[in-house]
Amino acid sequence: MSIAPLKKLSLVGPVEAQDVALTRLQELGAMHLLPMCPVESRVEKRVSREAEDAYKALRFLAVVPGPRRQVRSDPEFDVQAFVADALALKDRLRAARDRRDALANRLAHMQPWGDFEFPPLESLAGQRLWFWQLPVKHRAALQSVELPWQIVGQDTRHLFVVVLSPEEPPVDLLPVPRVHLGSKPGRVLEADLETAEIEIETLQGERMAMTRFLTLLRANLSEAETLAERAFADSQTLRDPDLFAVQGWVPEARVPEVERTCADLGLAVLIEAPAWDEVPPTLLEQPDEAGAGVDLANFYQVPNYRAWDPTRMLMLSFALFFAMIVADAAYGAMVAVGVLLFWQRLGATAALRGWGRMGLYLAGATVAFGVIVGSYFGFGPPERGVLAGFAFLDLNDFDTMMTLSILIGVLHICFANVMAFAAKSTRSRFGNLGWIALLLGGVTLWIGGLEGRPLNVGGALMVLGLVLVMWFASDRPVTKPSDWLWRGFDGLKGVAGAMGLFGDVLSYMRLFALGLASASLAITFNGLAVDVMASGSGLGLLGGLLIFIIGHVLNFALAMMSGVVHGLRLNFIEFYKWGLPEEGVPFRAFARKEVQE
């Protein structure tokens, strides 16, 4: 399979049919919607196609410790009303906590001043009280204050100063800002704080009561997502008093379904092929067993619509790189056991089934490579055993393993350029052939030597490659003489990429280095365990066994992490750079979420 060919469909009909038409299109789940209305300039007013409110409500309730007994079935459960109530409760609880914190902060500021009430303004002849908490080291600053002031208390660090003034004093009256105590006395604030605490407890009780519906909320998330998707579709639809219009990309194989739906509803349909300057979304079509490859292909960068489908190649190369990095048959068997233990759970959906198969591919490749290098928990096979006959590679043979890693890198990048050449239709496609010639020529010189036939063949390939890269580096049209100059600059820029090509090939040496590191750690732990067991005592036997188990668990975890990270890195960075340089847009069908596997 490959990237699905798409058609752009424009649907027009009477405005009375809009709701029914969108409902039918959502049930079909075949169209990637295109916006036909201007984008809302205010971000907060834009319609999201995600059920954001439902997930906010779920997070708000799911973190409550010790949720109530769950309600498993309730025909009258309204997910929209429940989400609205949960979010309203969340806002009330936040407001109550903010009020509690503000009151506690105000009380903390008032505590040094004691509990007092402000006298009526008339009794002070229009004067007002202004408060400062002045550090003792600034006491001399009081001498320059012309307004009436009084020190009403002090501690080891601060002076508590009151200033009389009918208007607010200047902000630079003293070296520190004044204290805002408010108009309420301490005992009133304490009563308000108690009320706020009681309100919070009451709201927490309501929150706890709502947790009994967590199971129903999770079960109805698909309904909330479907409604959010529908609201998003409404925002993308062009509508006037008489007509509405919807536009989107549809897989070519499903165009007849949409046409039949439109005929049933009396809608006009315009079907167009993608224009040369359009970038349709990318839909990777693969059978279930390659589902993990689709996930891998979309994980880092979605391939461009006019590129090629890297799914199968990603699965193959990832399994190979993972196996070379782990480099131990016993570790591969552990991966297989882990996958088989969870096999029933991995069969729940098509996506999980694909990853279950991918796990077996990784395990099988790791076991096979481990047998080839003769490593079983860091131990070699018996010299005269059957397994010894399959161990024809030695991880400690640096020259051979380094050569193997670089050759794999050359082949990998050559394949990327071959596929890029096949996918392109412009003149720059021949530049990919130049990179292939450059790689093959360099390998010929490296392995064959710098004399005789290898020198002639390798040198010729490298010269041919550089010429092709320089001449076909640009797709710039030539309409005037100066365009040739710009093509020349593009050619020089393309040739400069040779250094990047050299670095990318050398990156594949990590396959050898990480595989050697994994094997070396395994051997080290084995040696430590054997040395401890050599004491012959029961304690030594136990200690050696613990070293062996803990050491290999640690090494296994490191090997798994390295295998995944670096195995994918070589695909997503080096391979994508040469084979899939242009990013695409993921195809996202307008569909009911509960029908998606």
**Residue 188: how many CB atoms within 10 A of its CB?**
14
Helix (H, G, I), strand (E, B) or coil at 250: strand
Contact 17, 232 (CB under 8 A): no
Radius of gyration in angstroms for the set of CA atoms belonging to the chain, rounded to a whole number: 36
Does 237 reside within a domain?
no
* Per-residue confidence (pLDDT) for residue 47, from 0 to 100: 65
Instruction: Report CA 391 to chain centroid distance, whole Å.
Output: 40
- 182, 210, 229 — which closes off a domain? 182
* Per-residue confidence (pLDDT) for residue 122, from 0 to 100: 77
Contact 444, 458 (CB under 8 A): yes
* Per-residue confidence (pLDDT) for residue 45, from 0 to 100: 55
- Tokens representing 262? 């439109």
User: What's the Cα-to-Cα distance from 236 to each of 211, 261, 316, rounded to whole Å?
Assistant: 36, 20, 40
Mark whether 296 and 168 lie in a shared domain.
no
Of 65-69, 299-303, 557-561, which one has max mean pLDDT?
Answer: 557-561
Does 205 reside within a domain?
no
Query: Is the per-residue pLDDT at 597 higher than 50?
Result: no
pLDDT band with cut points at 50, 70 and 90 for residue 335: very high
Contact 309, 579 (CB under 8 A): no
* Per-residue confidence (pLDDT) for residue 596, from 0 to 100: 43
Does 131 reside within a domain?
yes
Does 96 reside within a domain?
no
Q: For the residues 207-220, what does the mean pLDDT come to?
A: 90
Write down the pTM of the prediction.
0.76
**Residue 390: how many CB atoms within 10 A of its CB?**
15
Does 422 reside within a domain?
yes
Mark whether 362 and 496 lie in a shared domain.
yes
pLDDT averaged over every residue in the chain:
88
Query: Is the per-residue pLDDT at 46 higher than 80?
Result: no
Query: Is the per-residue pLDDT at 350 higher than 70?
Result: yes
Does 542 reside within a domain?
yes
Share of the chain above pLDDT 70, in %: 97
What domain range is 348 assigned to?
288-428+473-579
End-to-end CA distance of the chain: 19
Instruction: Characterize the bridge pairing of strands 268-272 and 243-251.
Output: unpaired
Does 94 reside within a domain?
no
Q: Which amino acid is at 116?
A: F
- pLDDT tens for 445-474 read 998 877 778 888 888 999 999 888 888 887
Mark whether 300 and 164 lie in a shared domain.
no
List the Cα angle 222/225/229 in 5-degree steps. 140
Mark whether 313 and 165 lie in a shared domain.
no
- pLDDT tens for 146-174 read 888 888 888 888 898 889 888 888 888 89
* Per-residue confidence (pLDDT) for residue 324, from 0 to 100: 95
Does 208 reside within a domain?
no
Burial of 431 (0-12, 13-18, 19+ CB in 10 A): buried
Q: For residues 223 and 216, give the distance between their C-alpha atoms in angstroms, rounded to a whole number.
A: 11
- pLDDT tens for 123-153 read 777 888 888 888 999 989 888 888 888 888 8
- 150, 182, 214 — which closes off a domain? 182
- 134, 150, 182 — which closes off a domain? 182
Question: What angle, rounded to 10 degrees, do the helices at 452-471 and 429-448 form?
Answer: 160
Tally of structural domains, the chain? 2
Q: For residues 160 and 149, give the distance between their C-alpha atoms in angstroms, rounded to a whole number.
A: 10
